[in-house]
Amino acid sequence: MSGLLDGRRLLITGVISESSIAYAVARLAQEQGARVVLTAYGRPSLVRRVARRLPHEAPVVDLDVTDEEQLASLAERVGSHLDGLDGVLHAVAHAPASCLDGGFLAAPWPDVAGTFHTSAYSLKALAVACRPLLRPGSAVVGLDFDASRAWPGYDWMGVAKAGLEACARYLARDLGPAGVRVNLVAAGPLRTLAARAIGGDGAGFEQDWAARAPLGWDPADTEPAARACLALLSDWFPATTGEIVHVDGGHHVMGA
């Protein structure tokens, strides 16, 4: 994999701690020759501290993916650090507590709407905001969790992930003529801040997943999912778009 991303310029969202998939993507991307810019929401000083732990300190731009003004200025702000983009990682998702952990029937519409806005619609919003910087051969990659099943505790986030998957297909259709690929990576359960709601009791869910996955599964290891993201952000999949790549130890192929 040496030099897989040589010369490529990436915008990476969702870096909040060293345990995040997005951090692993940023680290590996730099090791593979990419130039990286990170985004920060809510706690920019924290993201800047994490950015200093990368092999090369990455610049950080503020971004709330639900803020139209910030989206409108994103290309200009990223452009002050990079002269274009070859890839964008969408690693953004959020649901209020009311939408998780058994709240499916009771969650109010404003909370559900916010979940969709942040976790699904934002893929389109981010891609459009970055479009002035994207060149033919570039890639948009989003982080997913298998939306084909109803998972314990996931509730409206699971529905939002189904929306994310549909959004990626339509983006692939509409950005394809410009030479931009759009794909998702559906990772198994990982011990990240974003994944704490999946599976209810956590440990039991992870153990069941590892037992059922043909390749096994380590919920503490974000690198397999990050490597898949890197491959899709590289130029090694020039004719693949609208795809969901499962990085889950093979769990999704197993019957009940």
pLDDT score at 255: 83
Q: What confidence score (pLDDT) does residue 17 get?
A: 92
* Residue-wise pLDDT tens digits, 230-243: 999 999 999 999 99
Query: What percentage of the chain reaches a pLDDT higher than 70?
Result: 95
Q: Which of 23, 41, 124, 161 is catalytic?
A: 161
Q: Would you tell me the crossing angle of helices 155-175 and 109-116 to the nearest 10 degrees?
A: 40
Mean pLDDT of 182-208: 78
The set of residues, in sequence order, having a beta carbon less than 8 Å from that of 211 and lying 6+ positions away, is none
What pLDDT sits at residue 93? 96
b/e sequence 143-173, b meaning 16+ C-beta within 10 Å: bbbbbeeebebbbbbbbbbebbbebbeebbe
Alpha carbon dihedral 214, 220, 225, 227, in 10-degree steps, equals -110
Entry pTM: 0.95
Residue 1: its pLDDT value, please? 46
Task: Centre a 10 Å sphere on the Cβ of residue 254 and count the other Cβ atoms it contains.
Answer: 11
Asked if residue 8 has pLDDT above 80, the reply is yes
124 is catalytic: no
- Would residue 154 show up in a list of annotated catalytic residues for this protein? yes
Predicted pLDDT of residue 42: 84
Tokens 């491959």 -> residue? 231
Residue reference for tokens 């940023």: 26
Q: pLDDT tens across 94-148, in order?
A: 999 999 999 999 999 999 999 999 999 999 999 999 999 999 999 999 999 999 9
pLDDT average, residue stretch 14-27: 96
Token pair of 61 as six digits: 């731009």
- pLDDT-based confidence at residue 189 (cuts at 50, 70, 90): very high
Nearest to 132 by CA among 173, 175, 68: 175
31-62 residue pLDDT tens = 999 999 999 998 889 999 999 999 999 999 99
